[in-house]
Structure 1
Amino acid sequence: MTSSAFSAFLPKRFARNEQVQSRPTLHDVSAAAKVSTYTASRALSGGPGVGAETRKRVIEIAAELGYVPNQHARSLKSPQSTAVAVLTANIANHYYSVLVNSLEAAIEGGGYDCVTMDAILNGVHSQAREDRFVASIMAQRVAAVVVTYNLSEGNMRALASWGIPMVFVDCSVPNGYAQYSSITTDSFQGSHDMGMHLAGHGYKRWAFVGHTNTWSSRKPRQAGFEAAAASTGCSVDIIEGMNSSATSCEAVSAYLIEKPRHEWPEVFYASNTVLLHGIFEALRRRSLSVPEDLAVVAFDDFEWAEMIDPPVTVVDQDIVTIGRAAGARLLQQIKSANVVGEELILKPTLKVRQSCGCGRIKGFAGR
């Protein structure tokens, strides 16, 4: 069939020689509703001075026409944005999806939405991406920013100089910026509790698989685990898992190859769920069973933790509560420039399941 013949089967607005219909404008809405563009604009934006029936008619006609307000044009008239930028460090981590979801639930009532910007590219932090995102944040005049990792000093100075409200989640507020608030978890205590539980199993050789050591959450998680080992006469090997499942798998695989079997750790502790996935993959490739051959535990609970075999023992920092707290604090900062920065540290919970050995091995009494 020729193109001319084919066009005969198309509606006129899609025919080759017909002009493609343009997107409906506010003028189209006002004309169809038989009101001025000013009244149509006020009706759609929820402004005062428009009758209930008129507002209802304008909204219905706009929906029928497929009209979408030009947010860019609106931002030129009003500097107040409704976007909250969330700077993340590996969106593949289950932590961030739960955090953003609970954060959005907390700020939606205030008329705000989240825009997620991830500084990780192929498992590695990209300073160029971070720089580009920060420049975009300032260009778009976002309402606020949620920071989940340590920004460069230059980008911190830039955001602070613009007076953009910021809340730090899962990382501490940098020195010199006491005007901002942080919501964190007592990672030291959570990891210490995990270590003491493992010592109760009789494990003497432990391995800690850690995420990028430039993130502020890394140090307390490792320190708490090492403190528990020191107090119970156990040893801890440190494995750099970096920031992806692939790098974690490679690091653990190389570690197991280099060490004689009798020197292997009895338990692996992943500092986040991305690295946990890599550990499980490394053990699967060697046909090793959990916890019969090695126990595996992690920091952070996740939706499927109880459904996989074996269910995973974790330190649960209650990400939903963190997101809600961050959202509430953010709204306070947006509404008032006089809010004083504060540090909120939440207490984590140890959730014991079977990957550590509990209830898994008949007659288990430690090793």
Structure 2
Amino acid sequence: MARPTIRDISKLTGLSTYTISQALRGADGVSDDSRARVLAAANDIGYIPNRAAQDLRRTNRDSVGLITASTSNSYYLDLIGGIQSTVQSLAWTVIIADVAVDGHYDADQEDRTVRRLIEARVAGVISTLTLRKENTDLLSKWDIPVVFVDSSPPAAAPDLPSVTTDNYRASMQVGEHLAGHGYKSWLFLAYPAIWSTRVEREHGLRDAATASGATLTVVESANDAISAKAALRLHLAASGAMPEVLIAGNNPMLLGALEHFRLAGLRVPYDIAVVGYDEFAWSNLIQPPLTLLNERSGEIGRQAAHTLAEIVLAQDEAEKGGLGGTPVYLPSHQKQVGAELIVRQSCGCQPRVTGPGAS
């Protein structure tokens, strides 16, 4: 696919390439009307200026973009570590951009981020959020490969690379464990469905609840701890009933729920059991230690970086051979990493006794 150029904008607007260049740079001497026409045309054809004024040869690119969706979620710490440990051997730099600061997704920020990464001529992009079709199309137009992690590719481009968890099966595993406790009333404190993992997690929990004769109630919150605490408090006050177990959709949901229980004087797991998604480093130090689904985000990060590197290096070889630089995606570029339920005490399980005298 041919990349759009200033000459293409000139054909659309009838303006000289010099005027277009000045307008794109924000320089003086260009009328407001001409500047607006230039920017509109550039946006329509997907033209992205190279602000770094660097050679566009792929072999000169030494950075990758990582688009996260709320770095306040500790899940991303291990993910980032896995990515950085892998690209370090390639002497690549990771540029991190958050499009959901404090858990609040911003579509305009996504658009700006994708354009800035293209301007920087990154070798590729790893995204933790399903990007809008306009942005995947734009990356494709500039031959920049993208790998999705902890999220599905867009429905319009299902063959794009991804490294994910089988969230349905993992959620069934969580539900089966809760059924083993005999819990019949479950509450799922969930983040918005714009994070694609939400759908499969809820689906798995619903099927597990149905299979065990339990009732699942879903309470949705914005993807931050403060909102989660407020949503849970309002729901419990309105319902007048306490569920037997709360399932926190991710770490911000878990933090908000635990804070509400502390303020309300509720004891975990005696007054309400708790299970969460996404293991983190100090989860076994909290009292009671937390039962969590470990998605192995560090391994997901490593697999994503390996996948991206494989695609980029293949592009390099193709360009050297005069075959063009369009990224080639293979079925093997879609991977899943197995999850593990780490059972501790917050779900109601008793601690294991070890040492002298243990039977």
Is residue 297 of structure 1 aligned with residue 275 of structure 2?
Answer: yes
Flag the 1:100–1:297 CA change in 2: closer, same or farther, 3 A: same
| Partner AA of 1:149 in structure 2 | L
SS of the counterpart of 1:180?
A: coil
Given that 1:332 and 1:339 are in contact with CA atoms closer than 8 Å, whether structure 2 keeps it comes out as no
Q: Does 1:166 align with 2:137?
A: no
Task: Answer whether contact 1:89 1:125 (CA < 8 A) is retained.
Answer: yes
Q: Is the 8 A contact 1:191 1:299 kept in 2?
A: no
CA-to-partner distance for each residue in 1:200-222, whole Å, 9 max, x for gaps?
11111000011111221110111
Counterpart residue number, 2:197: 217
Match of 1:37 in 2: none
Pairing partner for 1:317 from 295, 299, 307: 295
Deviation of 1:141 after TM superposition, in Å, equals: 0.5
Residue 303 of structure 2 aligns to which amino acid in structure 1?
Answer: A
SS at 1:171 equivalent: coil
Gaps of 5+ in 1: 1-71, 363-367
Q: Distance in 1 between matches of 2:300 and 2:352?
A: 35
Q: Which amino acid in 2 is paired with 1:86?
A: L
TM score, norm. by length of structure 1: 0.75
Q: Is the 8 A contact 1:292 1:361 kept in 2?
A: no
Out of 337, 340, 351, the position equivalent to 2:330 is 340
CA distance in 2 between counterparts of 1:179 and 1:196 reads 32
Give the direction of change, closer, same or farther, for the CA distance of 1:255–1:187 in structure 2 (3 Å limit): same
- Determine the structure 2 residue equivalent to 1:272: 250
8 Å contact kept, 1:206–1:267: yes
What is the CA distance between 1:180 and its match in structure 2? 2.7
Aligned 8 A contact 2:66 2:96 in 1: yes
Q: Are positions 1:202 and 2:177 aligned together?
A: no
* 1:52 paired residue number: none
Displacement of 1:131 after TM fit?
A: 1.1
Q: Residue type matched to 1:194 in 2?
A: V
Q: TM-score, normalised by structure 2?
A: 0.77
Identity score, percent? 33
Give yes or no for the alignment of 1:75 onto 2:75. no
Specify the SS of the correspondent of 2:121. Answer: coil
Please tell me the root mean square deviation across aligned C-alpha atoms, in Å. 1.9
**Whole-Å Cα distance in 2 between the matches of residues 176 and 77 of structure 1?**
29
| Structure 1 match to 2:12 | none
List runs of 5+ in structure 2 lacking aligned partners.
1-50, 316-327, 354-359
Q: CA deviation at 1:175?
A: 3.4
Q: Which amino acid aligns with 1:328?
A: H
Q: Are the counterparts in 2 of residues 166 and 330 from structure 1 also a CA contact under 8 Å?
A: yes
Distance 1:107 1:122, change over 3 A: closer
Please say which structure displays the higher CA radius of gyration: 1
Paired residue for 2:6?
Answer: none
Taking the aligned partners of 2:348 and 2:54, their CA distance within structure 1 comes to 57
**For residue 226 of structure 2, what is the aligned residue in structure 1?**
246
Secondary structure at the aligned position of 2:147 is classed as strand
User: 2:171 matched to which residue of 1?
Assistant: 191
The structure-2 alpha-carbon separation of the partners of 1:292 and 1:360, relative to structure 1 and needing over 3 Å to count, comes to farther
